[in-house]
Amino acid sequence: MKRLLPSTLLAFTLGLSASLLAQTAAAGNWDALQPDRDQVIASLNVVELLKRHHYSKPPLNDARSEKIYESYLKLLDPTRSYFIAADIAEFDRWRNQFDDLLKSGDLQPGFTIYKRHLTRLEERLHFTLGLLEKGVDSFDFGRDESLLIDRENAPWAKDKAALDDLWRKRLKDEVLRMKIAGKQPKAIQELLIKRYNNQLSRLEQTRSEDIFQTYINAFAQTYDPHTNYLSPDNAENFDINMSLSLEGIGAVLQSDNEHVKVVRLVPAGPAEKSKQLAPADKIVGVAQANGEMVDVIGWRLDEVVKLIRGPKGSVVRLEVIPASNAPNDETSKVVAITREAVKLEEQAAKKSILELPHEGRTYKLGVIEIPAFYLDFKAFRSGDPDYKSTTRDVKRLLSELKAEKVDGVVIDLRNNGGGSLQEATELTGLFIDEGPTVLVRNNDGRVDVLADENGGTYYTGPLAVLVNRLSASASEIFAGAMQDYHRALIIGGQTFGKGTVQTIQPLNHGELKLTLAKFYRVSGQSTQHQGVIPDISYPDEVDTKEIGESALPEAMPWDSIRPAIRPEADPFKPLLSELKARHDRRTAQDPDFVFTRNRLDLSRQLMQETTVSLNEGKRRAQHDSIESKQLAIENERRKAKGEELLTELKEEDENALPVENGKNKKPEDDAYLAETGRILLDYLGLSEALAKH
């Protein structure tokens, strides 16, 4: 069973059971956690399946063993805050043995390392709770000290005393963030005591299945980030695990150390329609309707999923830290979203008319927004002549636009996470005569060619395709084909870069999702990792280091194979430098383009900071400075547009993307869409002038 995945994988990390344990439980007694026979057999099956069927078929040897070891340590202790140097020295004896251990079904070292982690985590939680008992006011916030926050490559703590100092600083940092966010000392203390007590209680509910799942995933994900093991419980929720689409709110999530992060919003889903969530937002709390907010920091992703899901029509409240905050700003907001299923008709392609003045006259451009590549499989298979699909809808919209005598068409694929591969192929066929549309290279080296075999081109007029970082999978296949056939100008941001195909293999115990094929454009270039590079680029709306295939560990590389078509003369190439020059001149002072560039520049500057001050005076000054810069960026945009200036930023101002797709009623108000139209009109004028010469 092959499925095209539109987004990143569900990256299960070390987590703790959501159930609370009675306080009489025997803490620290992990000896009973042992691998069982079913887990041993499943591990041997995983080894064999990866050896025979994974796309890359890399050898399971000492080099792979080192990767497994490093991957496991990173899953268990990504910030190097639990293990001490002596633990690592002890574990190092297995560094080059995990290949042999897995081949023989010996899971003990994996269990030993995990159980040591449980011991260290329990020690840290007790230590932190001990500090909290003294009161949060016991911290000296006038002391000039700092905390290293980028700890991915930090040295392991030499002993428990070093860990004590690190965790004292971590707790001080948490308290300071909440103080600056306006919380009172009593409320801070109550929240943190409850958080750490809950983590301690959940820790004591750890099962051997938690260990097995984490260990086997540390192994599987050294092959690529979309290959992972699903435990029997998680296999029951296969569709959620595979698509990351949460039934109820329509959000794509992944683990990000102790947080759960929004990757993208499902088009026409409740979260997207609410306009309250954005990519890279962190979810720190979940509540049902008017119920108590449950702190989910440190929870496993699948546990947070269970809290967010619920009956259609019910309300879930999420406490989130907006991505627009500075990296060290934990100021949160609460959003309420009514759960509902994403309806096919709400994801349907729709059209609008973009009217733009250009060189003395007003032009009309047709805009077709495609939120997803959809196909009503049930109606299609039953022979319903009126089945709904992307291609059929776009064909109808093109017919209507031609009747309105538009001067060109823009296909808007922003935030389109993909969907049906068949639809990507058929949609390509509307704009080319006939020929290959995408190549699929299998794990045996065989290349299957998907093609449009229907002669004739439905729309032959000027065409531009607008994409961004959240355009993925099928979107990349269509945009890549339009670029390779020189059929359209590709404009916008570098796309997501997911160019692999996964399949699900049932095991005796759980399931294995593994990568068995890779997509290639008709030019022979992979869409993997690199995505589609636009002919003319716009400023990124999200940080590409945070969101996208290249942001995932062990992402498979970009490469190329033999092309399926012969390169023809590119009509855009001679004009690209002039098109870019005109675009640059127009957008150098465009308020929305300047705003997006400045905001991302500030975010990237702040992300480069590796330490944070624990002195309250310095921290507040830094916080005020960042807010001042954010306010200045917003007011610069408002001033240029003749809008009222702000004296302070509100949440809606911080999160608003003025160029975001669908935010404005008139297409001319969407800065990125309007500029795409102007570029297309520039091309029309330049190509006509060139033809006359």
Query: In this predicted model, what pLDDT tens digit does every residue of 462-489 receive, in sequence order?
Result: 999 999 999 999 999 999 999 999 999 9
pLDDT band at 236 (very low <50, low <70, confident <90, very high): low
Min mean pLDDT across 169-183, 245-259, 262-276 is at 245-259
**Residue 326 has what pLDDT?**
66
pLDDT band at 247 (very low <50, low <70, confident <90, very high): low
Whether residue 306 is predicted with pLDDT greater than 90 in this model: the reply is: no
Catalytic residue among 77, 173, 484, 682: 484
Q: What share of the chain is helix, strand, coil (3-state, %, to 5)?
A: 40, 20, 40
**Residue 410 has what pLDDT?**
98
pLDDT band at 689 (very low <50, low <70, confident <90, very high): confident
CA distance 465 to 487: 10
Whether residue 557 is predicted with pLDDT greater than 80 in this model: the reply is: yes
**Residue 14 has what pLDDT?**
24
pTM of the model as a whole: 0.87
Min mean pLDDT across 47-61, 313-327, 556-570 is at 313-327
Interhelix angle 474-484/421-429, rounded to 10 degrees, is: 30
Q: Which one has a higher pLDDT value, 205 or 98?
A: 98
- Mean residue pLDDT of the chain comes to 88
**Residue 64 has what pLDDT?**
97
Whether residue 23 is predicted with pLDDT greater than 60 in this model: the reply is: no
Catalytic residue among 351, 498, 513, 518: 498
Mean pLDDT, rounded, for 543-548: 86
**Residue 108 has what pLDDT?**
98
Strand partners, 254: 261
**Residue 245 has what pLDDT?**
39
Mean pLDDT, rounded, for 37-42: 97
CA distance 294 to 389: 40
Whether residue 65 is predicted with pLDDT greater than 80 in this model: the reply is: yes
Catalytic residue among 65, 201, 332, 473: 473
To the query of whether residue 473 is one of the catalytic residues in this protein, the response is: yes
**Residue 263 has what pLDDT?**
82
Whether residue 355 is predicted with pLDDT greater than 60 in this model: the reply is: yes
Mean pLDDT, rounded, for 11-36: 49
Residue 475 near residue 416, CB atoms below 8 Å: yes
Strand partners, 259: 256
Q: Which one has a higher pLDDT value, 553 or 243?
A: 553
**Residue 387 has what pLDDT?**
85
* Residue owning tokens 């005109």: 582
Can you list the domains of the chain with their CATH numbers? 37-223 (no CATH), 245-343 (2.30.42.10), 348-449+461-573 (3.90.226.10), 595-671 (no CATH)
pLDDT band at 416 (very low <50, low <70, confident <90, very high): very high
Residue 441 near residue 518, CB atoms below 8 Å: yes
**Residue 29 has what pLDDT?**
76
Residue 499 near residue 551, CB atoms below 8 Å: no
pLDDT band at 6 (very low <50, low <70, confident <90, very high): very low
Strand partners, 464: 410, 489
Whether residue 612 is predicted with pLDDT greater than 60 in this model: the reply is: yes
Question: 10 Å Cβ neighbour count for 106?
Answer: 16
Which residues touch 579 (CB under 8 Å, ≥6 apart)?
Answer: 489, 535, 536, 572, 679, 682, 683, 686
To the query of whether residue 484 is one of the catalytic residues in this protein, the response is: yes
Residue 548 near residue 263, CB atoms below 8 Å: no
Mean pLDDT, rounded, for 181-209: 92
Mean pLDDT, rounded, for 411-436: 94
Whether residue 280 is predicted with pLDDT greater than 90 in this model: the reply is: no
Question: Of the ranges 233-242, 404-413, 498-507, which is most confident?
Answer: 404-413
